Amino acid sequence: MGWVLMSVRHALLALLSEGPKYGLQLRQEFEARTGEVWPLNVGQVYTTVGRLERDGLVASDDGEEPGPQKSFRITPEGRVELDAWLTTPPAADVPPRDELVIKVLVALRLPGVDVTSILQTHRRHLIEAMSRYTRLKEDAADADLGLLLVADAEILRLEAFVRWLDTAEVRLRHRPPVAIPAIPAAPATPATPTAPAAPRRRARATR
C-alpha cells in the first residue's frame, strides 16, 4: 500500500501545480483524471494535504484549520518534489508484498490445504475482474483517455497474475512429493537391575 499512498500524495501535488484548489476540488479532479477507478474521500484529501503542508510542500491560503473554505497552493519546494517524482522510476529491486503471492506461499506450507483449489479460485476471480474492465473500456468514450489507460493497466496487471497462477499450478503438479518425517521412537526404558542373590549357607555335617 505504501506506493499507493505516495502516488496520491504526488498526484495532489500535480493538481496543485496548476493553481490553488480546495479540498473538494482536489478530490473531484483526482477521480476525474483517474477514471473514477480509485475513489478518494475528502478526509483522505485533507489528511494528505495536511502532511504536505507540514513538510513545506504545500501552503494554505485561507484559515488555519482544514475545511471547505481552505484552499491550498504548491510551494517551490513542492514543485521540486513533484519534478523528482515524475522523473524517478519506481523501485523495482525489491518485489512488492502482494497479498495473492503471500497467500499462495503460506498455503504451500499448511497441512491439509488444497493449494490447487486456491489457485483456481483466485484465477476465476481475476478473470471476472478482467471482464469487468474490458466492458468498462467498451462503454467508455474514446475521449476519456484517463479511464482507457487505467483500464488497460488493470487488464494487463490482472492478466500477469493469471499467468502466474497458471505457472504456479504447473510447478505444483511437478513438485516431488514431500517426505513426511518419521516420528522418532521413544527411547526404551532401561531394565531395573536385579539384586544379587544372597549366598546360601552350607549345611553342617552331622557326627
User: What domain count does the chain have?
Assistant: 2
The answer on pLDDT for 3 being more than 50 is: no
Domain of 70 in residue numbering reads as 2-87
The answer on pLDDT for 189 being more than 70 is: no
Share of the chain above pLDDT 70, in %: 76
Q: Which residue has the cell 503438479?
A: 173
In a domain, 185, yes or no: no
Residue 13 and residue 72 in one domain: yes
Q: Lowest mean pLDDT: which of 142-146, 147-151, 181-185?
A: 181-185
The strand order across the sheet containing 71-74 reads 21-22, 71-74, 58-60
Residue 81 and residue 157 in one domain: no
Q: What is the CATH number of the domain that holds 20?
A: 1.10.10.10
Residue 76 and residue 120 in one domain: no
Return the SS3 of 75. Answer: coil
How confident is the model over 80-136, as pLDDT tens digits? Answer: 999 999 998 877 777 777 899 999 999 998 999 999 999 999 999 999 999 999 998
